[in-house]
Every structure is written in C-alpha cells, then in structure tokens.
C-alpha cells in the first residue's frame, strides 16, 4: 500500500510546499516595504505558527478517529483560497490575518500527510520512508525560493502570489482525485471494539515524546527567526533577490538530495545519537553565519546546514513514528508539530526584538544558544531509549 500511495502523497506535498517556497524570499522584504519594524516582521511571520499551534492537536486527534484524506484535501483547498489574500493585503494587520488563517489550513496538510505515511510505514523502515517524505517536502521549499526570486525580479510580487494559489489548488485536485481514503489504526480499532492509547496525558509520560517535544520547541524557537532574517542579512551584503533565492534553494535542496540516505542511516544506527550529533553540527553553522561576508561563504554554510538536517529530520521523525504506534499517529505527530509551531510563533518575535535592539548577528547567536539547549533537553528526557532491531537489507526481504 505505501508504495502505491506514496507517489500521490509526495506530489501533493511537493506542489503545496513549492507554492509556499516561492514566496519565502520575498515575504520578509514585502513586509518591510509595508513599513513594519523588526518586531512587526517577526509578528507577521509568527501569526501562521500561532494559529497552526492552536489547531494542529485538535485536527491530529480528529484524523486519528475519522481518517486523513478529508482533512488533507480540505486543508489544501483552504490554503489556495486564503493565499489570494496576499495580493490584496495592504498593511501589516491584513497580512497578519492572511498568515493566521493560512496557519489553520497548514495544520490540515503537512502533519496529516506525515501521519498518513507513518500509518503505512513498516516497522524498521520508519527512517526510510520519513527520509523519502522529507526529500519531497523540502524539494518544494528548495525550488520555491529560486522560482520565487526569478518571478519577482521579472514579473513582480503579484505574479509570485498567483503561482502560490495555483500550485496549492493543483495539490488539492490531485489529493481529491487520486489519494485513497484509508482508515487509520485508531479508527479501525474503534470500529472493531479495540483501543489505542489516545490520551495526551499518557503520551506525556513517555520520555521520548517529552524529549522530542522539548527538542523541537526550543530549537524552533531559535531557528524560526533565521528564515525571517536570513534574506535581510543577505540583502545587507548586497546580494540580489534572485541570489537570495539561490541561497535558500541550495540550503533546502541539500536536505532534499541527502534525506533518503539520511533515512537509510537512521534505520541502521541509533536514531537518538544521530539526532543529537547532527543537531549540534547545525548549531555550529549558525554561529558562523554572521561572519560570512559574501555569497559564496553563505552558500557553503547553508549547504553544510542542509547536510546535517538531512540526517536529523528523518531520524527524529522516525522516533516520532515509533511513538505514534502506541498513542495514535495523528495525535503524536500533532505534538511534534505543536512544539515546532509554538517555537515558530515565539521565535520570530524574539528575533525581531533582538534585531531592533542589537546587531543582526545576535539573531543567529540566539538560534545557536537555543539549539544547544534543545539538544540537551532531548538527550536528558530520551536517555532511556532502546533502539529497535536494525532493518534487514533489501536483498534479504
């Protein structure tokens, strides 16, 4: 089933994230054009994460009981419709509202898609399929900034926003017409009189769940500001919009290209150890960014960051899939994405305040400090983890 479903789901996620990625290099600059301060930039970027954090646990739990497809297709349709608001937003408050409602639609898309794959992933192959999923997920974000920068330079911002709308609607049509509607284990258990432990309280007793939540929350707190202020930092070095798109594209495409290999590695080595080591490597790259003085130096640093993420993302998501088999995949994934959303909601605002009161380099130092803290919390809470048996080689299957 997973081999039949994955290409359809991957195409949906790729189309949706490509549309989002298209506007990523221009949105912070567009916000500045509207007269927003650093805190204003952070607030607009955070409004998406605020609404996403509120709704993702609710939608995740509902998808455990009622199935994934309805929420995924509805989310993609809403994303397309709400994105039209970017074209007509005339001030900071209107743009914040667009981002807020888009966050609700976002709660129905990526978390549900990853839960869908988690339901179907065979034991011992969680890293493999999460690696493939991350590859398609990040490839949309990777190609998007490059395309968005070129479209904006040649046709203007409105054209970039229209492409976002069209791609999201295309993803909706593909999911509606071709994605099968499977019953998740929680729904199947409910129908047959069985039970899964669909309790957030019980989930909170799991050391790994607490570790993953702490890890994702604190790291997102610092990393969230990077996406908002990296284009501004690059522009201060005299780098054009198109080249800013290239930087973001290379960063994310490196994750795309190496995520399948990272997933393979995480099925054969200790996922906890891999997550800790690669996260510390990412943090090291953050410290070095303010010392970059040109396009090439930034390019090399962002490429290195992408390589570390290509291992840490499949490894940590595979750990989440392991827990999802006990507590409900949608519910467990919602906690993972809730932590990420909460960090992304607070992080840009904090980073904006840092940007307004200090050198922009401190935005990246703040990200590094929180990265170290998040890694230490993960290591402490997950210290009792016992890895599953390694997956056998494909030729033994």
| Spans of the chain, pLDDT less than 70 | 24-26, 28-30, 32, 35-39, 42, 142, 184-199, 222, 224-227, 388-397
pLDDT value of residue 397: 42
The CA distance from 352 to 262, in Å, is: 33
A 10 A CB-CB count for 173 gives 15
The helix (H) or strand (E) run that includes residue 113 is: helix 110-120
pLDDT score recorded for residue 77: 94
pLDDT digits (tens, 9 = 90+) for 37-81: 666 776 777 788 788 888 988 998 888 888 899 999 999 999 899
pLDDT at residue 251, rounded to an integer: 76
Q: How far apart are CA 31 and CA 1, in angstroms?
A: 44
What single-letter DSSP state applies at residue 394? G
Residue ranges in the chain assigned as alpha helix (H): 2-23, 27-33, 38-66, 69-83, 85-88, 92-107, 110-120, 126-155, 157-178, 185-191, 200-203, 207-236, 241-266, 271-288, 295-327, 329-357, 361-381
- Say if residues 344 and 241 touch (Cβ distance below 8 Å): no
Structure tokens at 354: 């840092």
User: What DSSP letter does each residue of 140-192 carry, written as one string?
Assistant: HHHHHHHHHHHHHHHH-HHHHHHHHHHHHHHHHHHHHHH---PPPHHHHHHHT
Other CB atoms within 10 Å distance of the CB of residue 78: 19
Can you give the pLDDT at residue 225?
64
Tokens 């805190």 found at: 39
Output phi, psi for 393, to 5 deg. -65, 150
**Domain architecture of the chain: domains with CATH:** 2-177+200-385 (1.20.1250.20)
Alpha-carbon Rg for the chain in angstroms: 20
Is the C-alpha dihedral spanning 44, 313, 223, 333 positive or negative?
positive
Q: Work out the angle at residue 51's Cα, subtended by the Cα atoms of residues 361 and 92, and round it to the nearest 5 degrees.
A: 60
Question: Contact, 48 vs 56, CB < 8 A?
Answer: no
> How confident is the model at residue 184, as a pLDDT?
66
User: Using one digit for the tens of pLDDT, what is the confidence trace for 214-241?
Assistant: 888 877 776 766 667 888 888 888 988 7
| Token reading at 48 | 């998406």
Q: Tell me the pLDDT tens digit for each residue of 167-187.
A: 889 889 988 998 888 776 655
**In angstroms, rounded to a whole number, what is the distance separating the alpha carbons of residues 79 and 367?**
29
% of the chain surpassing 90 pLDDT? 18
pTM: 0.78
> Token pair for residue 127?
């890293």
User: Rounded to whole angstroms, what are the CA distances from 273 to 256, 342, 385?
Assistant: 22, 25, 10
The total of other beta-carbon atoms located within 10 Å of residue 68's CB is: 26
Separation of CA 195 from chain center: 30
């Amino acid at each position: 089933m997973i081999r039949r479903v994955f290409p359809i789901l991957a195409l949906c996620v790729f189309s949706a994230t490509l549309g989002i990625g298209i506007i990523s290099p221009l949105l912070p600059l567009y916000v500045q054009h509207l007269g927003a301060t650093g805190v204003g930039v952070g607030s607009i970027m955070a409004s998406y994460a605020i609404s996403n954090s509120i709704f993702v646990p609710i939608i995740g739990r509902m998808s455990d009981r009622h199935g994934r497809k309805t929420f995924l297709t509805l989310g993609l349709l809403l994303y397309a419709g709400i994105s039209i608001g970017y074209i007509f937003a005339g001030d900071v408050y209107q743009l914040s509202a667009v981002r807020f409602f888009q966050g609700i639609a976002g709660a129905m898309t990526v978390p549900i898609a990853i839960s869908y794959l988690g339901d179907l992933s065979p034991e011992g192959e969680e890293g493999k399929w999460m690696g493939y999923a991350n590859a398609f997920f990040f490839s949309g974000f990777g190609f998007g900034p490059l395309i968005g920068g070129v479209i904006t330079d040649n046709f203007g911002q409105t054209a970039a926003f229209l492409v976002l709308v069209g791609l999201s609607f295309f993803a909706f049509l593909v999911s509606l017409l071709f994605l099968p509607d499977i019953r998740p284990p929680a729904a199947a258990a409910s129908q047959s009189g069985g039970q899964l432990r669909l309790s957030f309280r019980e989930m909170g007793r799991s050391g790994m769940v607490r570790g993953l939540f702490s890890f994702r929350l604190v790291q997102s707190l610092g990393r969230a500001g990077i996406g908002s202020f990296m284009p501004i930092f690059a522009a201060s070095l005299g780098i054009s919009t198109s080249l800013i798109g290239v930087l973001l594209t290379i960063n994310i495409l490196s994750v795309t290209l190496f995520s399948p290999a990272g997933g393979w590695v995480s099925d054969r080595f200790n996922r906890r150890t891999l997550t800790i080591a690669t996260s510390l490597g990412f943090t090291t790259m953050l410290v070095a960014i303010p010392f970059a003085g040109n396009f090439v130096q930034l390019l090399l640093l962002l490429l290195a960051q992408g390589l570390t993420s290509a291992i840490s993302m499949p490894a940590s998501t595979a750990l989440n899939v392991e827990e999802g088999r006990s507590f409900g995949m949608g519910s467990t994934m919602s906690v993972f994405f809730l932590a990420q959303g909460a960090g992304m909601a607070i992080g840009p605002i904090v980073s904006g305040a840092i940007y307004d009161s200090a050198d922009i380099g401190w935005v990246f130092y703040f990200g590094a400090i929180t990265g170290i803290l998040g890694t230490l919390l993960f290591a402490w809470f997950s210290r009792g983890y016992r890895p599953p048996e390694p997956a056998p080689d494909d030729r033994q299957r």
